[in-house]
Amino acid sequence: MIIKKIAVIGAGLMGHGITQALAQTIKCDVYMHDMKQEFVDKGMLQIKNNLDRRVEKKEITAAEAKQALSRIHPVTDLREAVTNADLIVEAVTENKKVKETLIAEVDKIAKATAYIASNTSSIPISDLALATKRPEKFVGMHFFNPAQTMKLVEVIRGSKTSDETIKAIVEISKMMGKEPVVIKKDTAGFIVNRIFILALNEAVSLAEEGVASPEDIDKAIKLGLNWPMGPLALLDYVGEDTALAICEVLGKELGTKYSPSPLLEKMVKQGLLGRKTGKGFYDWTTKPK
């Protein structure tokens, strides 16, 4: 498959990681778009810092890092990002209305042969596909954080997604060095988040009830279940607002067992969103990001 241009819409936590992963592996022009220059600049700084760390660890060479950066085009003009792109990956906030509005706009600009993928972590792909006039070329491409290193990609088939589209996105995922799994039945939360969000939410409830400190809850899960990171630290990494949005979508689609912990709702209201705001269950202002 020949890919000449890819657009990633959103330069935030997931968007910049997806952009970096694409630039390092597909080796084509990757246009990273966001609404404001400050968002694009922040995304580029994070990519540069990530690449610098990989060079320091001798995982890549300085020349490889420079080449990856040269392929990335940070822009605030959506038309510039999307025009003539072979693949557009939507990676904006986990809000259905926001995604639908953006996807409809992208659909008008994108060339007829382009695939449009959503990095949604919970919203059914068939619902988002209604915002396009090409549902057969619309697909879920759910990366995991940090997208530049995590191997898994959930490839989600909507009710009208074609076999050809699934085959193409699986191939692109493999070109990125990822391990794709195909979600054959479009369901809220797909595979990982249907299981994962229950564990995170229960960890928040344990902290809320005072059963143990956040540190000991994380220590118990790391040592007892062999997780590389505890659930509350991981929640701070993902973002409490993102987790709450996933809980709300899954609760609406799948029932009350996904109802968010009151503490999670309270933290979001107070702006305690983990790494992105500096504080969550932990103080990230004193920890390396």
pLDDT digits (tens, 9 = 90+) for 226-256: 999 999 999 998 899 999 999 999 999 899 9
* CATH number of the domain enclosing 237: 1.10.1040.50
Mean pLDDT of the chain: 95
Which DSSP letter does residue 279 get?
B
For residues 217 and 83, state if they share a domain. no
User: What stretches of the chain adopt beta strand conformation (E)?
Assistant: 5-9, 29-33, 72-75, 87-90, 115-118, 138-143, 152-156, 179-183
- DSSP string covering 83-116, please? TT-SEEEE---S-HHHHHHHHHHHHHHS-TT-EE
Q: What is the mean pLDDT of residues 21-32?
A: 96
* CATH number of the domain enclosing 130: 3.40.50.720
Q: What is the mean pLDDT of residues 102-110?
A: 98
For residues 147 and 14, state if they share a domain. yes
Q: What is the mean pLDDT of residues 8-13?
A: 95
For residues 172 and 196, state if they share a domain. no
For residues 170 and 224, state if they share a domain. no
Give the range of the structural domain holding residue 25, as residue numbers without chain letter.
5-183
For residues 29 and 144, state if they share a domain. yes
Exposure on the CB side of residue 115, measured as CA atoms within 13 A: 27
Pairwise CA distance, residues 87 & 29, whole Å: 11
Q: What is the mean pLDDT of residues 10-29?
A: 95
Encode pLDDT of 140-172 as tens digits. 999 998 899 999 999 999 999 999 999 999 999
For residues 178 and 236, state if they share a domain. no
Q: What are the two backbone dihedrals, phi and then psi, of residue 157, each rounded to the nearest 5 degrees?
A: -85, 125
Catalytic residues, which ones?
121, 142, 154, 193
Choosing from 142, 166, 183, the residue where a domain stops is 183
Q: What is the mean pLDDT of residues 95-112?
A: 97
For residues 219 and 82, state if they share a domain. no
For residues 176 and 146, state if they share a domain. yes
Please say whether the beta carbons of 240 and 267 come within 8 A: yes
For residues 101 and 75, state if they share a domain. yes
Choosing from 159, 183, 207, the residue where a domain stops is 183
Q: Work out how many domains the chain is built from and give that number.
A: 2
Please say whether the beta carbons of 19 and 30 come within 8 A: yes
When pLDDT is cut at 50, 70 and 90, the band that residue 27 belongs to is: confident
For residues 176 and 265, state if they share a domain. no
pTM of this structure: 0.86
Find the range with the poorest average confidence among 19-33, 114-128, 274-288.
274-288
What does the pLDDT read at residue 286?
A: 83
Q: What is the mean pLDDT of residues 101-105?
A: 98
Choosing from 140, 164, 183, the residue where a domain stops is 183
For residues 198 and 153, state if they share a domain. no
What does the pLDDT read at residue 241?
A: 94
